Structure 1
Amino acid sequence: MNNHKIFNKSFLFLLVSNLSVFIGFEMLLPILPAYLISLQASAIQVGLVTTLFTVGAVFIRPLAGYYLMDNQRKTLAMGACAVLLMITAAYPYLHIVWLFLLLRLIHGIAWGVSTTANGTIAVDLIPKTRLGEGMGYFSISTTVGAIIAPSLGIYIYGSYSFDTLIWSSVILSLTALIALQFMHTPTPVKREKQPFQFFKMIFERDAWFPALLSVITTFSYGAIVTFLVLFGKQKGLEHIFLFFLINAIVSTLLRPFTGRWYDKKGPWSIIIVSSVLGFLSLVVLSFATNDLHLIISAILFGAGYGTVSPSLQTWAVQRVSEEKSGSANATFYSSFDVGVGISALVLGILAEWFSLEMIFRLVSLNFIVVAALVYRDYVSEKNR
């Protein structure tokens, strides 16, 4: 393999697999609570749909990261993907609420292993001198899937049926599994390592700062996924899909530029600039009354959040030694899950007291907090 080439065969198959996994998973998120209500579940049980999943994902990732240090990563990725496929296929056949919730916990475990393994494999396949650029490309499969999938899931469920939605997700999981089969990954170098200690590995210490920033910025994603469709109905915005589409296009088109910017200048300047753009995107969205406002907001969000997220992941990996890249990825993905979980709770409470316009404006301030923290870190690093 060319030591400076990013788009080799294995990396392309990894992109296909990761995109399929994310779309297949994220398209279920807005639908499963409604399905559980149809099973006569209580409000608490509906809330557990997300909580149990998050618990499973967060608590398995330290073990996954530890195992990935010196074991065959492709095998773990394929195993987790196969479990995701089987769990998804089982959903239509579970009509007992507590069994459904148990499956959500197991689903979270498989998801935690799959995403951690895929992220670690990406680090293996990308030349170290182009890690920022390469992780930017890899994160396209994550952010595009996460942004587009909820609307796709709502469309399939509304136009067809729950079973059609599930089997669409199963097909995507099968596609991901097949793509992984054609991928080649280097075997990690065997190194002496400490025994597994859960409470020390649940949070990779050297990656704590990017992980914290990820939790803060994830509130913006949570606000978009949770409230944008409802906001569009309130404001009479009939083409709300434009936000998701344009955001994904802008985020994708900017990756070559932003990745090279990161590799040349480091994380500070690009995260600060993109955080300001993220702030502006949500402010513009809060005042949106027509499609032009929506498009401007989507462009800014794609350039803002679409750049912050992969930059933070790259930064987390770069702050640790190579053998700990699995643990750093586990910490980063867990921070995303924690951010989604917290944002769902906090924003849901705030929505009882504030308008959706005000919710977007409040969440926009998180980007300013991130920019300030990153600038402080830059000054601290410069003075060392």
Structure 2
Amino acid sequence: MKEGNALWTKEFIILAMSNFMLFVAFQMLIPTLPVFITDKGGDQLAVALVVSLFTVSALLVRPFTGKALDSMGRRPVLLSGLAIFLFSVFGYYWMASVALVLALRFVHGIGWGIVTTTYGTIVSDIIPAERRGEGMGYFGMFTNLAMAVGPLIGLSVSQSFGYGWLFGISGGLTGVAMILTRMVEIKAPIGMTQPFAAAGGGLFEKKALFPALLALLTGVMYGGVVSFITLFGQEVGIENVGLYFLFNAISLMLVRPLAGKLFDKKGPFWVLMPGGVLTGIAVVVLSYSTTELGLIAAAILFGIGAGSVQPSLQAWTIQRVDPSRRGAATGTFFSAFDLGIGGGAMILGAIAKQTGFAMMYRYSLFAMILYLIIYLFYVVRQSKKASTPKAVSS
């Protein structure tokens, strides 16, 4: 599949492009589905359910996806997830009521949970071990590019041509992603031919739990930022909140490959600690921002911090587990991150009702402080273990 430590192989490039197409298809619907719901007569609760139902179903399916990846193989799981995703996107247009749209949204989340877990697992198989941080960084860069252009394309298409074209183009991009995956030679690690029920290991991978915990804490902060940034802008009088997403996406794309290389050369500490500190500073800066300049500064800092931490945690997760358990490890990681985003949005939303959004962001800093304390404690403990001389058996 790859020769030596080459990163930019045919498989890596095609897989990155396939993932990019899928994420554009997904991001096209982020700003447009809420409007689609309201046009069908949905209220604010229905709009909230568009997000929560999708997140819940993706969260529920990820552990089973990881188990299936390690027992049934990568390709059949990926194609089944893409098929569910494609069916859901095309199906939205034909749903006659808000209730049916929400039901399909739950199914859509199942497809999303399957494909994102599978892409993360397959790319970890393809990337050379000694360049895993760098490879994850570049792979994530394509995702960030999709996050930058997808919403703009979705809004433009829906406003200019209507929802039929919106769902048609989104489904078409998903179809292109499926075609591209057929061009990739997918080889999974040995030991994955057993039936699902007979395969070794559980739904969650124990060795992935610690980085998954850190991912959960970063997800809490991330969920607060992305869920309430527009309302925060209204609260403090910043009109063009879209600048946050633009500069955040740019800084994410620029920092991911650099952070990945640092991870490969120096190890996780030199990325996870400074990245966590920068993420915390970014939220504080955001909470005090009352101008577009402050918003941009917070976006850049958050992009650098989160762009360093998230792919490094994912690469570290893969490093810690046996190759035959990469699927379960990836499922564990993304489940924790999803739980952090969903739980963080709920908890911080409740806090915001009492304190306002600016103070809510300051409270969210505690999640990152806890992240830094837990990780620093882990590093110190591992250092003491390494320095303790082992007893020599006679």
Same fold per superposition (TM over 0.5): yes
Displacement of 1:294 in angstroms is 2.3
> After alignment, is 184-193 or 281-290 more displaced?
184-193
Q: Which residue of structure 1 lines up, in the alignment, with residue 14 of structure 2?
A: 13
Q: Which residue of structure 1 lines up, in the alignment, with residue 392 of structure 2?
A: none
Amino acid at match of 1:312: L
Amino acid at match of 2:306: Y
RMSD: 2.6
- Is the Cα contact below 8 Å between 2:280 and 2:365 reproduced in 1? yes
How far apart in 2 are the matches of 1:261 and 1:337? 26
How do 1:16-27 and structure 2 match up within 5 A? 16-27=17-28
How far apart in 2 are the matches of 1:368 and 1:218? 13
Gaps of 5+ in 1: none
- Is the Cα contact below 8 Å between 2:59 and 2:113 reproduced in 1? yes
Amino acid at match of 1:244: F
- Is the Cα contact below 8 Å between 1:28 and 1:153 reproduced in 2? yes
Sequence identity percentage = 37
- Structure 1, residues 179-207: CA drift from partner, whole Å, max 9, x if none? 22222222442357696389x73432221
Amino acid at match of 1:186: K
| 1:208 pairs with 2:209 | yes
> After alignment, is 132-141 or 367-376 more displaced?
132-141
How far apart in 1 are the matches of 2:379 and 2:337? 23
Displacement of 1:144 in angstroms is 4.4
Distance 1:354 1:105, change over 3 A: same
Question: How high is the TM-score relative to the length of structure 1?
Answer: 0.90
How far apart in 1 are the matches of 2:195 and 2:273? 37
How far apart in 1 are the matches of 2:156 and 2:357? 23
- Structure 1, residues 313-367: CA drift from partner, whole Å, max 9, x if none? 1122222111100111111111222122212322322221122211222223322
Distance 1:218 1:151, change over 3 A: farther
How far apart in 1 are the matches of 2:219 and 2:110? 21
User: Structure 1 residue runs of 4+, over 6 Å off?
Assistant: none
Matched positions, count: 383
Q: Which residue of structure 1 lines up, in the alignment, with residue 120 of structure 2?
A: 119
Q: Which residue of structure 1 lines up, in the alignment, with residue 230 of structure 2?
A: 229
- Is the Cα contact below 8 Å between 1:65 and 1:327 reproduced in 2? yes
Q: Which residue of structure 2 lines up, in the alignment, with residue 317 of structure 1?
A: 318
Amino acid at match of 2:20: L
- Structure 1, residues 114-171: CA drift from partner, whole Å, max 9, x if none? 1111111101110011111111222223344446645664565566644443334223
How far apart in 2 are the matches of 1:208 and 1:178? 34
> After alignment, is 321-330 or 36-45 more displaced?
36-45
Q: Secondary structure at the match of 1:69?
A: helix
Displacement of 1:45 in angstroms is 5.0
| 1:361 pairs with 2:362 | yes
Distance 1:168 1:344, change over 3 A: farther
How far apart in 2 are the matches of 1:246 and 1:42? 31
Q: Which residue of structure 2 lines up, in the alignment, with residue 183 of structure 1?
A: 184
Displacement of 1:30 in angstroms is 4.3
Q: Which residue of structure 1 lines up, in the alignment, with residue 380 of structure 2?
A: 379
- Is the Cα contact below 8 Å between 1:66 and 1:196 reproduced in 2? no
How far apart in 1 are the matches of 2:341 and 2:87? 25
How do 1:188-267 and structure 2 match up within 5 A? 188-191=189-192, 196=197, 201-267=202-268
Q: Which residue of structure 1 lines up, in the alignment, with residue 136 of structure 2?
A: 135
Distance 1:19 1:244, change over 3 A: same
- Is the Cα contact below 8 Å between 1:18 and 1:142 reproduced in 2? yes
- Is the Cα contact below 8 Å between 1:70 and 1:188 reproduced in 2? no
How far apart in 1 are the matches of 2:365 and 2:156? 28
Question: How high is the TM-score relative to the length of structure 2?
Answer: 0.87
Amino acid at match of 2:367: N
Distance 1:213 1:151, change over 3 A: farther
How far apart in 1 are the matches of 2:247 and 2:198? 44
How far apart in 2 are the matches of 1:358 and 1:169? 38
Distance 1:236 1:55, change over 3 A: closer
> After alignment, is 161-170 or 1-10 more displaced?
161-170
How far apart in 1 are the matches of 2:45 and 2:243? 34
| 1:165 pairs with 2:166 | yes
Amino acid at match of 1:141: F
How do 1:55-74 and structure 2 match up within 5 A? 55-74=56-75
Distance 1:135 1:166, change over 3 A: same
> After alignment, is 355-364 or 26-35 more displaced?
26-35
How do 1:88-99 and structure 2 match up within 5 A? 88-99=89-100
Gaps of 5+ in 2: 386-394
Displacement of 1:374 in angstroms is 0.8
Amino acid at match of 1:381: Q
How far apart in 1 are the matches of 2:289 and 2:105? 36
> After alignment, is 111-120 or 184-193 more displaced?
184-193
Amino acid at match of 2:83: A
Distance 1:268 1:187, change over 3 A: closer
Q: Which residue of structure 2 lines up, in the alignment, with residue 109 of structure 1?
A: 110
Q: Which residue of structure 1 lines up, in the alignment, with residue 349 of structure 2?
A: 348
Q: Which residue of structure 2 lines up, in the alignment, with residue 275 of structure 1?
A: 276
> After alignment, is 91-100 or 139-148 more displaced?
139-148
Amino acid at match of 1:26: Q
Distance 1:301 1:46, change over 3 A: closer
- Is the Cα contact below 8 Å between 1:143 and 1:306 reproduced in 2? no
